[in-house]
Structures are given as structure tokens and as C-alpha cells.
Amino acid sequence: MPEPIPIPPLFLERMSRFLDNEYPAFAESLTHDPVHGLRVNTLKLSADEFLKISPFPLGDKVAWCDSAFTLTPSPLPAEEGRGIREPGKHPYHLAGLYYLQDPSAMSAAELLGPRPGERVLDLAAAPGGKTTHIASLMQGLGLLVANEIKTKRLNHLVVNVERWGAANLVVTNETPERVADRFGAYFDRVIVDAPCSGEGMFRKDMRARLDWSEEMVAGCAVRQTNILRVAAHLVRPGGHLLYSTCTFAPEEDEAVIARFLQEHPDFEVEALPQLAGFMPGKPEWLSLTTAPFGGNKSTEHTKKSKKDSVDSGEDCPLRGAVRLFPHRLSGEGHFACLLQRKDGPADELTFPWRSAKIPTLEWKVWQAFREETLGVDFPSERLRMQGDRLYFVPENVPDLKGLRVTIPGVWLGNFKKERFEPAHPLAVFLRPGQARNVLALSSDSREMAAYFRGESLPSEGRPGWTLVTADGWPLGWGKRVQGVVKNHFPRGWQIYS
Ligand code: SAM
């Protein structure tokens, strides 16, 4: 067993300063295992329906997220196939029935409060925890843009988004500045789940413990301030901006918001509900740090300008933020603050994505495939061709020209001369009963395991494209030829589970 990486002593010393008489309970909570959570994909089934079919034990409902449960580690050892890791390997996971996520992280999308039909932007989206949650809350209606700046983090985002099966999602790979240049004040809601020092993840992420330093906290605060400044341009008048981190450091939380409010008089804090175990924002902690907006600790910082101080009185709007702590609730550390842009005349940005019509031959090929294989229609005005690929795009999607678009919608498949070959995202987008040819497997059968290994499966029936299901849940494609279903499950998909 490798030596556990110690929690940085300076971090503990800071926390004892901030938490005062709550510190012993906090320090004790750091000696416990992290809490795991499972959020049901309500685009596909309800939490109660999942409860009836759940293959592993579920704990309590998460108090601030109706569709989620805590996961209780099984008493059986992992080698018997029933350990806590199992939910990440189960066919239901690959079918997009749920997302595994720290319960505290589930607060952000709930507090953002997206509604069906709105325009929502997740500016820092990978690996897709908040994006998938927002997609479910929007019931697949409206437009959800999930942006990720780091190309190497895109794969996980794409896989998670594809198996979620939302019809209103676009993924872009851009800097916040370029997103702002393209869209302007277009969105009803924007979430900035900012890169941070990760103090709230210390129970589960050893790397975060290793990387942590006060300098890192200060560096993150600068980066967060810059991202939030750009995000402000993307919110329509009257719209909302949610800022969240998974760190306790007030330099990265309250101080970032305080600086933002100083620079943006057209925004104000909308107080969040103080739900079970939440703690309000703590502006007074800023005076216990050495950073701007506080810092009476070191002489270097004693001469502060008025600009660098925050009024931390009882009415301070920063108290409308929420802090989540592992000693107060079942989850890791998190911070969230909701800002609203004051109302005013909205920019009228209408730039619908008009793309060339689908050529006649491809249109016929697609129709033939659809009639033979699918029991569901896709409105023609939402179909777009890109190269030889066919996508089902969100309703009223704007023109995305000039942006690096990773996914413009649900990838339905590819035209190959006079054939149409369905893509994996179409399989996991389908709901039970929406395919004409089905190979129905039991999730714990040997055939299921063989399907994941890429093997062909003997199966009599109608030849052609066949949807492989796990207990009825669409999972991937096969093609039946002469009593054998050839395997079209994408290689490499399982590593993302
Ligand atoms: N929202 C994600 C989720 O729930 O799964 C987690 C987001 S993670 C906390 C922060 C993200 O910000 C990372 O994906 C990181 O690549 C991205 N990021 C890093 N630097 C950035 C920058 N300068 N601008 C925008 N995003 C950045």
C-alpha cells in the first residue's frame, strides 16, 4: 500500500482560523472516506423507477437533488464484483441511466435552476457532471452549450454527453473570450464551475493535496476572476450567472465575487436557499487571509486601500452564497454564488444556423434507414449534414460558424455511398421501444459481457441494423447477418466508465 499523502499542514492551519470552534468536526471529517453519489438521468427514467431496478444498494436521497442518492459501499469485497466501483462498470452506466458524482457537486446545477426551453451555457464543462445535470433539468428542451477550453479533457465530456442522450446539447472547445465574442449577451443562464485549488476534494483526490499551496490559491483566484469577467458578457439582462468551486479558500470564493461586484455594478447577488447543512458565504474570512480584500495578518498587507476591503456586516450580499462542508452534510466541499444581471433592454441576437439542404440521395438513404430501423421520427428542420455525418441539432440553434464545435447535436450516423451507418450516440439517444430490430440481453448475462468484449453474438431474426439492449435499455448497435449479430460497440468506450 502506498503511503497516504498528508493533507498540507498550512491548509489545516488556515481552516482552523476560518472555522474556529467548528474546526475539530471538520478535521475529523477529513479522516473519513469520501461520499459517493449517483444521479439518475431523468431524461430516461425517474429516480423512483431507477430505485426499483438499481443493481446495487443506494443510500439516502440527496437532500438538495431530487434525482440523486448517496452510494453505500457494499459490505462484499470488490473482487466478488459488488464493490463500490461496480456502478461505474455496469451496463446501465454505459446506457446513460446515471452519472456518478459527489453529492455536493450536485448543488450547483440545482441552484442555477435551468428551465426547459432556456438558453444555458456551461463555460467550463469537462468532464460533464454539471452539463448532464443541467440537460436533465432542461428536459432536453432549449439550448445547452457545453464549452471546454482544454482539448485533452474533451473526450470524457463527449462520452458523458453522448450517453446522456439529450436533444438540446452542443459541445464547443473554445476559450471563454471566443465564446463571448460569438454569442454576446445571449444566455438566460451561465455557469462558471471554475478551475480551483480543489481543497474540497482532499478526501478523494491525492493529487489536489500534493499540488496545493497558498501561491496556487492566489494563482487560481486570478484565473477565476478573469473567467468570470468574460462570463459576465454572456448573460442577457435579467439572466443569471452561477459561480461555483470545489474549494474552501475565501480568496477563490467570496473575494472573486467581491471583486466581480465592484467591477460589474449591473450584477447583484441573488441569495441562495440555505438548505440542509449549507453554510452561508463568509465575507469575514477574507480578513483572516493575506490576500487582497482582507489581510490584516501580515504587515505586508496592512496598508490596504479602501478598494481592497470588503464590508462583512450582517447585510453583506456575499452571505447569499453557500458553502458545503463534509462535516455538515454527506458530501465533499463546494461553494456556489448566484448573480443576476439587472434587467434592461435585451440584445436581439438572432442568427439561426441555416445550413445547406440535405442532398436528395442522402435524404432518401436516411429515410430508408429510418423506416427500416427506427420507430421514431426526427423533424427534418433539425437535421444537419457535416461532411458525411448526419446530426440532430437543438431547436433554433444559432449559427456556430467561427467556433470550434466538437458536437453540434446528436450524431445520428454517416453516409457511406448509398448506405447509412448509424452512430453509437444514436443508439444511446433512443429510448426503449424506439427501434424495430432489437437484440435484448440481460445486463448480467454472459452475452452482455461478450458484447462489451467486442464479440459477435449468435441471434436469429430480421437481418440488418439491430439495437442491443441491457434489460431493455438501448446500449449500442449490432448488425444481424445470417444468424449472427456483428458487434458495433465502439472500442474504447468502456474505459470511460
Ligand atoms: N463543470 C465540470 C463538471 O461538473 O464535470 C468540472 C469543471 S472543472 C472544476 C474546471 C474546468 O475548467 C476544467 O475542465 C478546466 O479544463 C477548465 N479550465 C481551466 N482553465 C480554464 C480557463 N482559463 N478558462 C476556462 N476554463 C478553464
CA of 180 to the centre of ligand 1 (A): 16
195 Cα nearest atom in ligand 1: 10
Average pLDDT over residues 169-177: 98
pLDDT for position 308: 56
Determine contact, residues 173/155, Cβ cutoff 8 Å: no
* Alpha-carbon gap, residue 30 to 71, rounded angstroms: 18
CB-ligand 1 contact for 150 (6 Å cutoff): yes
* Pocket of ligand 1 contains residue 229 by CB under 6 Å: no
The dihedral sign for the CA sequence 394, 398, 401, 403: negative
Hey, is 317 helix, strand or coil? helix
The answer for residues whose C-beta is within 8 angstroms of residue 368's C-beta and 6 or more apart is 420
Find, among 183, 182, 249, the residue nearest to 222 by Cα: 249
Cβ(220) to ligand 1 under 6 A? no
Please give the number of the atom of ligand 1 that sits closest to the Cα of 246. 9
pLDDT for residue 494? 58
At 16, which helix (H) or strand (E)?
helix 9-19
How far is ligand 1, taken at its centre, from the CA of residue 449, in Å?
34
The reply to whether ligand 1 has any atom less than 6 angstroms from the CB of 252 is no
Q: Which of 164, 222, 227 to mutate to test the pocket of ligand 1 (most atoms within 8 A of CB)?
A: 227
Cβ neighbours for 250, distance < 8 A, ≥ 6 positions apart: 18, 282, 283, 285, 286, 288, 289, 291, 294
Look at residue 291 in the predicted model and tell me its pLDDT: 67
Catalytic residues: 246
Nearest protein Cα to ligand 1, atom 17: 124
- The Cβ-side half-sphere exposure at 179, using a 13 Å CA radius, reads 31
The answer to whether 342 touches 266, Cβ cutoff 8 Å, is yes
pLDDT of residue 460: 94
Query: Comparing 195-209, 256-270, 292-306, which segment has the lowest mean pLDDT?
Result: 292-306
Count other C-beta atoms under 10 Å from residue 497's C-beta: 15
Distance, CA 249 to ligand 1 centroid (Å)? 17
Lowest mean pLDDT segment, chosen from 123-137, 327-341, 397-411, 471-485: 397-411
pLDDT tens digits along 5-20? 999 999 999 999 999 9
* Adjacent-strand bridge partners of 222: none
- The confidence score (pLDDT) of residue 347 equals 61
**How many whole angstroms separate alpha carbon 470 and alpha carbon 474?**
7
Residue with cell 463571448: 180
In 233-392, where do the E strands start and end?
235-245, 267-269, 279-280, 322-324, 334-341, 383-386, 389-392
* Average pLDDT for 21-35: 97
Write the secondary structure of 22-45 as one string of H (helix), E (strand) and C (coil). Answer: HHHHHHHHCCCCCCEEEEECCCCC
Q: Choose the weakest-confidence range: 136-150, 289-303, 359-373, 483-497.
A: 289-303
For the chain, what's the residue count?
497
**Which of 131, 150, 228 should be mutated for ligand 1, with most atoms under 8 A from CB?**
150
| DSSP string for residues in 437-453 | SEEEE-TTSHHHHHHHT
What's the whole-number average pLDDT of the chain? 91
Percent share of the chain, pLDDT over 70: 90
Q: How far is the CA of 50 from the centre of ligand 1 (A)?
A: 30
Predicted pLDDT at 374: 97
Which is more confidently placed, 493 or 297? Answer: 493
With a 6 Å cutoff on the Cβ, whether 153 touches ligand 1 is yes
- Coil, helix or strand at residue 329: coil
How far is it, in rounded angstroms, from Cα 339 to Cα 436? 48
Q: Is 149 in the pocket of ligand 1 (CB under 6 A)?
A: yes
Query: Which pLDDT does position 344 carry in this prediction?
Result: 73
CATH top class, domain 9-341 = alpha beta
- Stretch among 87-96, 271-280, 487-496 having the lowest mean pLDDT: 487-496
Residue-wise DSSP of 406-436: EESSEEEEEEETTEEEE-HHHHHHSPTT-BS
- The answer, yes or no, to whether residue 277 has pLDDT greater than 80, is yes
Residue 3 has pLDDT above 80, yes or no: no
Of 272, 266, 182, nearest in space to 229 by CA: 266
Per-residue pLDDT at 319 exceeds 70: yes
Nearest alpha-carbon partner for 228 in 255, 183, 260: 260
- The least confident of 70-79, 217-226, 296-305, 365-374 is 296-305
Residue 372: pLDDT above 60? Answer: yes
Indicate whether 143 pLDDT > 60. yes
Distance 193 CA to ligand 1 centre (A): 6
Distance CA 412, CA 409 (A): 9
Whether residue 77 is predicted with pLDDT greater than 50 in this model: the reply is no
300: pLDDT confidence band, cut at 50, 70 and 90? very low
| pLDDT score at 352 | 64
Whether 133 lines ligand 1, by a CB cut-off of 6 Å, is no
- pLDDT for 343 equals 80
Residue 2 has pLDDT above 70, yes or no: no
Predicted confidence (pLDDT) at residue 428 exceeds the cutoff of 70: yes
* Residue 193 near ligand 1, beta carbon < 6 Å: yes
Cβ–ligand 1 contact at 219 (below 6 Å): no
What pLDDT score does 86 carry?
A: 80
**pLDDT at position 355, please?**
67
Q: What is the pLDDT of residue 276?
A: 85
- Which residue has a Cα nearest atom 20 of ligand 1? 195
Pocket perturbation via mutation, ligand 1, pick of 193, 211, 242 by most ligand atoms within 8 A of CB: 193
Q: Report the Cα 142 to chain-centroid distance in Å.
A: 17
402 CA to middle of ligand 1, Å? Answer: 21
**Span from the CA of 171 to the centroid of ligand 1 (angstroms):** 14
- Residue 369 pLDDT > 60, yes or no? yes
Residue 56: how many other CB atoms lie within 10 Å: 16
**Residue 170 pLDDT greater than 80, yes or no:** yes
Which residue minimizes the CA distance to atom 19 of ligand 1?
195
In angstroms, the CA 210 to CA 198 distance is: 11
Q: Is 128 in the pocket of ligand 1 (CB under 6 A)?
A: yes
User: What is the distance between the alpha carbons of residues 399 and 408, in angstroms, rounded to a whole number?
Assistant: 10
- Domains of the chain, by residue range, sit at 9-341
Helix (H, G, I), strand (E, B) or coil at 493: helix
Rounded Cα gap, residues 137 and 154, in angstroms: 22
Distance CA 402, CA 182 (A): 8
% of the chain residues with pLDDT over 90:
83
127 lines ligand 1 (CB under 6 A): yes
Work out the average pLDDT over 382-388: 93
Q: For residues 312 and 286, which has the higher predicted lDDT (pLDDT)?
A: 286
- Residue 401 pLDDT: 86
Ligand 1 touching residue 178 (CB < 6 A): no
Distance between CA atoms of residues 274 and 17, nearest Å: 23
C-alpha closest to that of 228 among 208, 252, 247, 202: 252
At 181-228, the pLDDT tens digits run: 999 999 999 999 999 999 999 999 999 999 999 999 999 999 999 999
Q: How far is the CA of 220 from the centre of ligand 1 (A)?
A: 12
Around 272, how many Cα atoms within 13 Å sit in the side-chain half-sphere?
31
pLDDT at residue 353 tops 90:
no
DSSP string, 90-155: SHHHHTTSEEE--GGGHHHHHHH---TT-EEEESS-TT-HHHHHHHHHTTT-SEEEEE-S-GGGHH
The vertex-409 CA angle with 403 and 410, nearest 5°, equals 150
246 has a pLDDT exceeding 50: yes
Which cell numbers hold the place of 248? 474552501
Atom of ligand 1 nearest to the CA of 126: 14
Which atom from ligand 1 is nearest to the alpha carbon of 196? 9
Helix (H) or strand (E) holding 475: strand 473-481
